[in-house]
Amino acid sequence: MDKFISVADIADPLGGYGENLKQLLDLMGSYQKQPLKDSEIGRGKTIGLLFFNPSLRTRMSTIKASQNLGMQVISMNTSNDGWALETADGTVMDQGSAEHIKEAAAVMGTYCDLLAIRSFPSLKDRKSDYAEQVINGFVANAGVPVINLESATLHPLQSLTDVFTIDSLSKKDKPKVVLTWAPHVKALPQSVANSFAEWMQHYDCDLTITNPPGFDLSKKYRGDVTVMHDQDAALKDADFVYVKNWSAFEDYGTVGDFPDWRITAEKMKLTNDAALLHCLPVRRNVVIDDAVLDSEQSHVIQQAGNRVLAAQAVIKTIIS
């Protein structure tokens, strides 16, 4: 693996995913038992973490994972500490951007053996966001492997974590997994949901996506997964309920006013005593009720803890 931008980076030459996904899940399981078993592998290597947007879990879990592998970490917030970057080719840079991504990425590549980037979408221009100019600009110019810490359209470290968490908790071979839209007060990226849909199609489960009309994810990521616009019907007999808000892909970036899609204890009763997952951060009693987040059905803390395992398995695989 020479980069980790999307699930495509774990495909084998024939386009299969099963064996490489299994290897990553096995490695995560081994790090769960022995976090420091590869603590010499990264000795003398440096990972650079670059955040264009806020983060708690991704930042801390990636630092922890790198430290478990013996690596040095440089972490930087571009909004406070760096120059505003230009990503387009041929621009006359006489406005706000002081540095082009061509120089910035190449320079960081001379300081670091691996770069990891978080860069959210604008949610104003779908074509530009889905072109992934920032993450692709780093891949093209850094000269070292690049890891996606949540880009404009995808969040693969979160999704690898989610596959592992579902695999760890599942009591049956082919669980029913429901990805459900939930309300929010502001427009959020589609990245977590896109990525979850993309990765779960390579895991042996019965996947359903449920969202209000007008909020279907991009066909590129949801593929042929069943989409239901009746949340109660979708939740029936679910073994896992993955809750996430996303802004509209069709009427790009709109929020949606559907308060009844909030996850309540009554809705969880429709399920097969489902395990509840959410990538966090979550706004309590807007997205999911206290009664659900504080119940035995919620596994969100365990899920967030597993982020270290995913980052460690990916970094180890790349630097090996």
Q: Which of 49, 63, 160, 279 binds ligand CP (CB under 6 A)?
A: 279
Comparing CA positions, the residue from 204, 179, 206 lying closest to residue 194 is: 179
Check residue 55 for interaction with ligand CP (CB under 6 A): yes
Give the CA angle between residues 165, 168, 171 to the nearest 5°. 120
The residue among 55 and 180 lying less far from ligand CP, judged by its C-beta, is 55
Rounded to whole angstroms, the Cα distance separating 306 from 271 reads 24
**Residue 171 neighbours by CB under 8 Å, 6+ apart:** 239
Give the CA angle between residues 77, 74, 53 to the nearest 5°. 20
Check residue 150 for interaction with ligand CP (CB under 6 A): yes
Q: Please, what is the end-to-end C-alpha distance for the chain in angstroms?
A: 9
Q: Which of 57, 126, 176, 299 binds ligand CP (CB under 6 A)?
A: 57
Give the total of residues touching ligand CP (CB under 6 A): 9
The residue among 16 and 281 lying less far from ligand CP, judged by its C-beta, is 281
Q: Check: CB of residue 162 under 8 Å from CB of residue 199.
A: yes
Q: Check: CB of residue 21 under 8 Å from CB of residue 314.
A: no
Check residue 58 for interaction with ligand CP (CB under 6 A): yes
Closest approach, Cβ 58 to ligand CP, in A, equals: 3
Check residue 239 for interaction with ligand CP (CB under 6 A): no
Check residue 56 for interaction with ligand CP (CB under 6 A): yes
Closest approach, Cβ 243 to ligand CP, in A, equals: 13
Check residue 301 for interaction with ligand CP (CB under 6 A): no
Q: What are phi and psi of 314, to 5 degrees?
A: -70, -45
Comparing CA positions, the residue from 130, 192, 132, 143 lying closest to residue 3 is: 143
DSSP state of 263: B
The residue among 3 and 155 lying less far from ligand CP, judged by its C-beta, is 155
Check residue 280 for interaction with ligand CP (CB under 6 A): yes
* Token pair 């082009």 in the structure block, residue: 100
The residue among 55 and 141 lying less far from ligand CP, judged by its C-beta, is 55
Rounded to whole angstroms, the Cα distance separating 167 from 72 reads 31
Closest approach, Cβ 112 to ligand CP, in A, equals: 20
Q: Which stretch binds ligand CP (CB under 6 A): 52-60, 183-191, 228-236, 257-265?
A: 52-60
Check residue 158 for interaction with ligand CP (CB under 6 A): yes
Q: Which spans of this chain sit near ligand CP (rule: CB under 6 A)?
A: 55-58, 150, 158, 279-281
